[in-house]
Each structure stands twice: as C-alpha cells, then as structure tokens.
Amino acid sequence: MTTPKLERALGFWGALFTGIGLVVAATTLTTLGNGFGLGGPAFMVAAGAALLIMILIAFSYSELANLIPGAGMIGAYTAPALGRGPAIFGVLAGYLVLVATVEPANQFVGGLAAQSLFPAISPALFAVVVTVLFCVINLLGVRSFGRVQAIITGLMMLVLIGFGLTGLLELGGGVTQTDPIPFNPAGWVEVASLIAMGIYLFIGIEFICPMSEEIRRPGKIIPRAMIVGLVTVFCVDMLFGFAALRYVGLDELATSAIPHLLVAEGIAGHAGLLILTAATVLAAASSVSAILAAVPRMLYGLARDGMLPRIFAWVHPKFHTPWVAVFAVTAVIVTSIVTIADSGSILTLILIATVMWLLSYILAQVDVVVLRRRYPDARRGFRTPLYPLPQVVGIAMCLWMIVNIHPDPEMRTTIWIGSGVCAALIIGYAVIWLRVVKKVPFFTPTALPEALPADEEPAAATPGSVR
C-alpha cells in the first residue's frame, strides 16, 4: 500500500497569499499605527530599513527551500547543517511558541473587533469558532486552503488600499488634522529604535516555505512570492500609514491598542469604523489560516525525519494533509485562547515569541553559510545574491533587534528571562527525545539526502560532490 503524500497543487497566488496572510495579522495593524505615532512620517524610513532586512532574510529562506524542499522548513534546513538538536529548536522555538502566544492574541483581537459590531458576541468564543473553522478548511486539502486564503487576504489588502486612497484624497468626509506634522518629530535615534517594530510588519513571510512540497514550481515561485509579498505589504502599509497621519494625532496613534480603527473612523466616520472592524476580523482569519497551513507541515517534516513522534507525519489518504499535526496546532491555539488571550501579560508573551522567532531567523541564515561550505556544488534552484553579505548583515540585525527588543530595561529583562525559559524547555525536550528515546546525536549533521522528501532526487550525496 502506497503511503499518502502531500500534493503539488499550489501556484504563485496561493503561495503569495500564504505569506501575506500572516503578515497582515490583526496585531500587525496595531503595530503599524503605533509606529507612525511614535516616528511620524519618518517611520517610513524605519519600515524601509526593516523591509531591506526582511528581503535579505527572504533570500536565505528561498535558497534553503529550493535546496531542501521539505515541509519541515527550518527543521529540514538545520538538520544537515547543524544537527537534529538545533533543527528541533528552530521549529519549536520559532513557531510552536508563536502558536501558543501571538496567534491567540491575533484571534482575540479579531474577537474584540467582532464584539464591537455585535456586543453579544464573546471574543474568546468567536476566536475559537474561527480557529476551528479554518482547521476544517486546512484539513480538506491545499487546494481549498489556497482559494480561501487568496480571497480573505486579498479582501483585507483591498480594504487597506481603499482607506489609504480615500484618506489621502480626502474623499471620506472626515476632518483632517490642522497642525502640520514635521517629517521626523522624534529624531533619528528614535527612528533607528523603531526598526525592530518595523520588522513586525513583515515577520512571517517565510510561511511560504513549508508549502514547498505542495507548490508546483518552487524554484521560481518561492523567491518571487516572498519578495513580491514583502514589497506589496510595505506599499500598502505606507499608504495606510500616511493617510492615518492626516486624521489622527501622533499621541493617539502611538498609545492606542486599536489605532487602525481610530483611523478608519477619522477617514469615513461610523461607516469606516464598521468596514475596518470587519477587515480586522478578516485579518485574524487570514492569520490563523496561514498558521494552520504552515506550522503543521513543519511538525510533519520533523516527525518524518524522526525528530518528533511519528504520529505527526500521518497524512490523510484522501485530502493529502498532515491531519494529526493540524489538529495538534488547532488544540494549542484554542487552549491558549481560553487561558491567556485576555491576560494582561499578552504583550510580554508576544515579545518573547518575537525573540524566539528572531533566533529561528538567525539559524536559517547560519544554515545557508554552513550548507554552502559543506555542499558547495549542490544544485540550488535559487542562490542568494552577493553571498555571504546578506547572511552576515541579516544575522547582525537580528541580534541587534533581540538586544533592543523593548526600550524599558525592566520589560526587556523580563522578555529575555521568558525567552531563556522557553529555550531551556525546548532544548530539554530535544535532549530527551534524541539522546534518551531515539539514541541519536544532538549536534551531528545529517547527510543532505536524508533531509529531502522521499520523492526528491538527492541534492548531494557527500560534501563537495556535484549534482
């Protein structure tokens, strides 16, 4: 009997909207408004710098996804570069922590938006229902996911573009700010400190990569979709941000938990508020859809390579989806929504997840350098331009952002301690699973062919060999 495999059915648009789907999450809209409030128009410079950094990181992920087109993503890339232990850390630190913190927050913000339209709605219950709905959609197969993802993410982007144009052209009937805003009201030091906030506008674009076994032409589609996605998000965000400055004061933008809704109301009154509130719900839906598409496939890849229990590698015989992993991720999100989404510590948890995410980004860039040295002649569908400069700059900037994760020293220390606890728990699991249960080395790299899906031709049998 043939073991069910993932199906190659996703084209450019499905891949593009997979990446954008998480990037335009509900919490990202808050970050966008706060950034323009703190930096004024000069926040565009910080966001532009963040865009360039994310393009460098996208180069690394595109090269890795084409060298090792596995659903395990960072796990599949790191195992042949640094060993199974760091591979487990990369996936669980970068993405399981995300599932347990940032995504419940996104869903709860969507629930609050829904409650503003219909006061009888429970935000937590709404968030759970949306999560379960997209669990079902993802279980039905990548074709169903791709269509739904394109629709909801496309609508969200169109709404933001509409508000941006309406605001800049003053077509919504709102009252504009009378006091002129200087381009850089806070100074360039403040703008530099906002680059980390700018990164959050783009973080998650690599969620295209776990779909590499289901993308029809990954060598061309993955890098194009990542770069087009990043540039598109930057343009749409800047359009909306400059419109926001015309209708809402800097202090309100900087301090509000829902600045995008203030902007919508300022541009088009109550009707604008209703429209963008609905769009915030769409953003939450888009986010959880992307999460439930990508993270289960990372777990699937780890399990297939023996780094998680084998049950996570089970693929549904009819729908060709990693159904056990999808259920597991759904369960984590739902549990977190119920337990932490309404807590006062959610910002701290999100920033802890961001630190872990940046550590995963560092691993990916180190993987590129190590695999270039170990397998210099392996066939790569995409090669990083100006190698290794993008990796060196990308690693340095990720470290800089971790060090400057929050301006308040006490909050920063709390975030570092929380990140250290998460890292210790993940490393503890990896040591027990690899050394005690599986009895395999922690740091010894696997051979590159072992990192490839079963239906892929080996990239390079030995270090230095030509494919």
Q: What is the pLDDT of residues 175-231, one digit of tens each?
A: 787 778 888 888 888 888 788 788 888 887 887 887 766 677 777 788 888 899 999
Residue listed under structure tokens 């309406």: 166
Closest CA to 149 of 20, 17, 279, 23: 17
Range of weakest confidence among 7-21, 42-56, 61-75, 372-386: 7-21
pLDDT at 81: 92
* 3 state DSSP class of 430: helix
pLDDT at 260: 83
pLDDT at 463: 40
pLDDT at 72: 65
Q: What is the mean pLDDT of residues 116-123?
A: 79
**What is the dihedral angle through the alpha carbons of 133, 138, 143, 146, rounded to the nearest 10 degrees?**
70
Q: What is the pLDDT of residues 151-166, one digit of tens each?
A: 777 787 888 899 999 9
Most confidently modeled of 219-223, 248-252, 282-286, 297-301? 248-252
Q: What is the mean pLDDT of residues 258-278?
A: 85
Most confidently modeled of 104-108, 215-219, 451-455? 104-108
Q: What does the domain layout of the chain look like in residue ranges?
A: 12-451
Q: What is the pLDDT of residues 234-243, one digit of tens each?
A: 999 999 999 9
pLDDT at 340: 66
* 3 state DSSP class of 220: helix
Closest CA to 51 of 198, 193, 221, 189: 198
Distance CA 149, CA 295 (A): 15
Range of weakest confidence among 45-49, 128-132, 142-146, 215-219: 142-146
Contact (CB, 8 A) for 247 and 167 = yes
Closest CA to 59 of 463, 388, 451: 388
Q: What is the mean pLDDT of the chain?
A: 81
**What is the dihedral angle through the alpha carbons of 209, 215, 220, 221, rounded to the nearest 10 degrees?**
-70
pLDDT at 464: 40
Selected residue with higher pLDDT from 396 and 312: 396
Percentage of the chain modeled with pLDDT above 90? 21
pLDDT at 347: 64
Distance CA 8, CA 212 (A): 8
Q: What is the pLDDT of residues 311-340, one digit of tens each?
A: 888 887 777 778 888 888 899 888 888 776
Contact (CB, 8 A) for 301 and 78 = no
Kindly tell me the burial class for residue 432, based on how many C-beta atoms sit within 10 Å of its own C-beta (0-12, 13-18, 19 or more). Answer: exposed
12-451 adopts what CATH topology? Amino acid/polyamine transporter I (1.20.1740)
Give the C-alpha distances (Å, rounded to integers) separating 43 from 153, 159, 236, 408. Answer: 24, 22, 14, 20
pLDDT at 188: 85
Q: What is the mean pLDDT of residues 10-22?
A: 73
Most confidently modeled of 3-7, 128-132, 303-307? 128-132
Selected residue with higher pLDDT from 301 and 85: 85
Closest CA to 97 of 355, 389, 428: 355
Query: Above 70 in pLDDT, residue 342?
Result: no
Residue listed under structure tokens 């590159």: 448
The set of residues, in sequence order, having a beta carbon less than 8 Å from that of 425 and lying 6+ positions away, is: none
Query: Above 80 in pLDDT, residue 365?
Result: yes
Query: Above 90 in pLDDT, residue 139?
Result: no
Percentage of the chain modeled with pLDDT above 70? 87
Distance CA 359, CA 352 (A): 11
Range of weakest confidence among 21-25, 257-261, 359-363, 444-448: 21-25
pLDDT at 7: 53
Q: What is the pLDDT of residues 281-295, one digit of tens each?
A: 777 777 787 788 778
Sign of CA dihedral 216, 237, 112, 357: positive
Phi, psi for 62 (deg, rounded to 5) = -65, -40
Kindly tell me the burial class for residue 455, based on how many C-beta atoms sit within 10 Å of its own C-beta (0-12, 13-18, 19 or more). Answer: exposed
Q: What is the mean pLDDT of residues 271-278?
A: 85
Closest CA to 210 of 82, 89, 64: 64
